């Protein structure tokens, strides 16, 4: 199970690492499109867009349906729940570290103020 989730995370983050692929997902969130329409929108060749769509498909983020000569793309069957949970876990770790750092800084400020008062007296 852990390896299965890790494979999904790897595929998802690899797919999401490219700005064009993130743009394709945003676009497909608004409307289904053919690969030709996506290629035109992103000023790419059909071959280049097909490669991007293939990466998104392998990650389960996009699904395509071929009707005749037209391949239509839509958002895929897999939500980003696992990815969101992974990111949230690390967000919480960093939030707790920053909270601890804030406490240290506040303690140092208080100590500095106390030292200044002692020097004036």
Q: Are 53 and 66 in contact (CB under 8 A)?
A: no
Q: Residue 65: its pLDDT value, please?
A: 94
What gap in Å lies between CA 45 and CA 95, rounded to an integer?
43
- 61 Cβ contact list (under 8 Å, min separation 6): 12, 15, 16, 25, 75, 76, 78, 80
Helix (H, G, I), strand (E, B) or coil at 44: coil
Q: Are 90 and 76 in contact (CB under 8 A)?
A: no
The architecture CATH gives domain 2-75: Orthogonal Bundle (1.10)
Q: Residue 5: its pLDDT value, please?
A: 57
pLDDT in tens, 57-92: 999 999 999 999 999 999 988 778 888 888 898 889
Say what the pTM is. Answer: 0.72
| Residue showing tokens 């743009």 | 23
- 63 Cβ contact list (under 8 Å, min separation 6): 57, 73, 74, 75, 76, 77
Low-confidence ranges of the chain (pLDDT < 70): 1-6, 121
């Amino acid at each position: 199970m852990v390896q299965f989730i890790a494979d999904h995370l790897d595929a998802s983050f690899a797919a999401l690492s490219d700005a064009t692929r993130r743009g394709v997902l945003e676009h497909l969130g608004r409307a289904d499109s053919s690969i030709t329409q996506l290629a035109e929108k992103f000023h790419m060749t059909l071959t280049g867009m097909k490669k991007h769509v293939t990466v998104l498909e392998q990650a389960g983020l996009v699904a395509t349906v071929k009707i005749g000569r037209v391949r239509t793309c839509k958002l895929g069957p897999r939500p980003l729940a696992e990815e969101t949970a992974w990111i949230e876990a690390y967000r919480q770790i960093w939030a707790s570290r920053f909270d601890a750092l804030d406490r240290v800084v506040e303690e140092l400020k208080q100590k500095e103020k106390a030292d200044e008062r002692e020097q004036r007296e």
